[in-house]
Amino acid sequence: MTHASIRTTQGRGRLYDTILDTVGDTPAIRINNLAPEGVRLYVKAEFFNPGASVKDRLALNIIEAAERAGTLKPGQTVVEATSGNTGIGLAMVCAQKGYPLVVTMADSFSVERRRLMRILGAKVVLTPRAQKGTGMYMKAVELARTHGWFLARQFETSANADIHEATTAREIINDFAGDRLDYVVTGYGTGGTVAGLARVLRQERPETKIILSEPANAALIASGVAQGRGPDGAPVGSHPAFEPHPIQGWTPDFIPLVLQEVLDSGGYHSLVPVKGTDGIAWARQLAAREGILTGISGGSSFAIAMQIAEQAPKGSVILAMLPDTGERYLSTPLFEGIPEDMDDEERALSNSTPGYQMAAG
């Protein structure tokens, strides 16, 4: 009998000055057990970022772009509206750089997100869920104006798409150099990821089709209804096509200005709706069959990637974006029905040997 050699590692060949230097360079990982025969399916695992989500990239660049421009002063408080991941990324960046941070967030988002931001030193101001994303956005604007704080403006700032153009897209180009890449699948929150990818892939890999997805019950783009905007590009009012959906981090109740660039330039090949229940189901499949723990947003991107994989020509190569980790969803429907205590099968296993058994409760 022969055995494969033991895996070895050699370190990264460098020392890091701060946690912020570890943002980016996330891996593209092949899907082996779930992918249909004849296609190669990969996921870009953004939970390898230090704050465990793709939003670490824009959080870092928003702060550093403001530092370069002189619009963020030393010690000035930063404020932003977020469903959680941008806030966690900003909390990490602000903690390291010494900026106070205040986050506004609708109370419908998972409690673990609030706690993560708070342990990183941020203050979290909750807004009523009935006021949706617009409510938390306007609260951040009010706080910035009243107190003279720096408003991060993730939904409008050019620093958002710029960092995905400079890092996320370049990583994909380099990882698939000399190889096929037929489809890239992503959803949108701010629109920064798809905008940055479109800028690069349309120029350097024009054969690659960018597939954009949005919740089936909150199909803002598919509705064809334009978003009302103020003179600074900020949204005016909630979009009429919005309904609450379980894909946290995707599709606020307005079309962000950052995403508008993609809509105006035709920066995607097709738009495919996804049900939140499908996103949850495929996130669970990724965990149980591939050992890849992603959130509902990642499960939703993967759901569309699987649809494409089933219909794509043999030999096709598909990449799905996984924005964050499943651990950010412990209190959400993703973990519904996942018990804390032993089930009957686990209890039977415990009882199959005489020792070290839990007493009946």
Structural domain including 214 reads 19-48+168-335
Residue 7 resides in a domain: no
Q: Is residue 40 part of a domain?
A: yes
Q: Is residue 55 among the annotated active site residues?
A: yes
Residues 270 and 231 in one domain: yes
- Whether 317 shows a pLDDT value over 50: the answer reads yes
Give me the mean pLDDT over the 302-314 stretch. 98
Q: Let me know: does 294 contact 326? Beta carbons within 8 Å.
A: yes
Could you tell me if residue 238 is inside a domain? yes
Give yes or no: residues 294 and 175 share one domain: yes
Catalytic residue among 44, 55, 132, 209: 55
Any idea what the CATH number is for the domain that residue 329 is in? 3.40.50.1100
What does the pLDDT read at residue 109?
Answer: 82
Catalytic residue among 53, 83, 110, 297: 297
Label residue 156 exposed, middle or buried (CB < 10 Å: 0-12, 13-18, 19+): buried
Q: Based on the domain organization, do 80 and 133 belong to the same domain?
A: yes
265 catalytic per annotation: no
Per-residue pLDDT band for 328 (boundaries 50, 70, 90) equals: very high
Is pLDDT above 90 for 117? yes
The rounded mean pLDDT for the chain is 95
Q: How many domains does the chain have?
A: 2
In a domain, 353, yes or no: no
Same domain, 196 and 244: yes
At a CB cut-off of 8 Å and minimum separation 6, what does 208 contact? 181, 182, 183, 184, 201
Range list of H helices, 120-248: 132-147, 158-163, 169-175, 192-204, 220-223
Q: Residue 305: which pLDDT band, with cuts at 50, 70 and 90?
A: very high
Regarding whether 129 and 71 lie in a shared domain, the answer is: yes
